[in-house]
Amino acid sequence: MGLFSKKIKTPTPAQPVREVSDVKKPSTGSVKSVVLIQPLVTEKATATGTYLFRVAPLATKSEIRKAFQAKYGKTPRKVNVVNVMGKVKMRGRVVGKRSNWKKAVVYLAKGETVDLFQ
């Protein structure tokens, strides 16, 4: 009866330990493709010489700066970040909500320009 007697475990042979190499594997995605989602083109941004981007929700200013520098080859003078709250929308009697997203405003030095759609 197995209820009161202790079951005996049979030892399993140990598997060989794999060696860990010091070489890092290359990442599957680059930083610039993960952080900068899409550029936003507005009249106000083009008039002031700033560049707007929709960025990843968890992206920080330093990550945005590095991604911009990696993709376009220019170092930003300043980066501002805005959390844009999604609007509540009605479709008939059904209430829905658009997603929240993050917007980055990238400032370059005077006279510098970037071709966004290269």
Instruction: Give CA–CA dist 55/63, Å, rounded.
Output: 10
The per-residue pLDDT for range 12-32, each reduced to its tens digit, is: 887 777 776 666 554 545 555
Whether pLDDT at 1 is above 60: no
84: which residues sit within 8 A by CB, 6+ positions away?
100, 101, 102, 103
Whole-model pTM? 0.69
The per-residue pLDDT for range 70-116, each reduced to its tens digit, is: 999 999 999 999 999 999 999 999 999 999 999 999 999 999 999 88
Domains detected in the chain: 31-107 (3.30.70.330)
Residue 42 confidence (pLDDT): 94
Residue 23 confidence (pLDDT): 60
